[in-house]
Amino acid sequence: MSIDATAQSSDGPMEEVDAFAIKHLDSIQPRSIRDRAEYCGLFFHDSQGQLAATPARKGGPDGCTPEIGPDDADIIASYHTHGAFSPEADTEVPSVDDLTADFMEGIDGYVATPGGRVWLNLLEEEITVELCGPGCIHTDPAFRPCPAFEPEAEYTIKGLVERAAEDTGEC
């Protein structure tokens, strides 16, 4: 099941945020893949009500802490990439830590994967949903799908814990 972005709100503001997030993640994805590191930041409405993003901050291979947004910013979501493809890591879905961090911050979150997927962590529903599938944004040329371990369309934290427990590390 794919998320219908317009279903997030009757007046459709999430559709605008989703499109902005996808475009922004696509722009930083090549750097993330090249550097084999996560990049992260925050999406917000500025004092004029315009959608904006904090500069992408470089993290490590398995984590990233965004810079704090401007004082007058209305923070609406986090964003981060998962870096380069690695057959040893389950980088095609958000991690339990990804969801937990967003939920503890009280915001939604966007996650880009090496396979070009974008996920949306939804605070209110406490789930993550695949906003767009493989190749939606820039994809790591080294990426190889694993038909035996394809992601579901959505996960709860419990579902991600179960996925991790089932991960044999082999495709």
Which portions of the chain are predicted below pLDDT 70? Answer: 1-14, 171
Confidence at residue 13, expressed as pLDDT on a 0 to 100 scale = 54
Task: Please indicate, yes or no, if residue 171 is contained in any of the structural domains.
Answer: no
pLDDT of 22-68, one tens digit each? Answer: 999 999 999 999 999 999 999 999 989 999 999 999 998 889 999 88
Task: Please indicate, yes or no, if residue 159 is contained in any of the structural domains.
Answer: yes
How many structural domains does the chain have? 1
pTM of the entire predicted model: 0.89
Task: Please indicate, yes or no, if residue 44 is contained in any of the structural domains.
Answer: yes
Is-contact 39 14, C-beta < 8 A? no
Q: Which domain holds residue 93?
A: 5-166
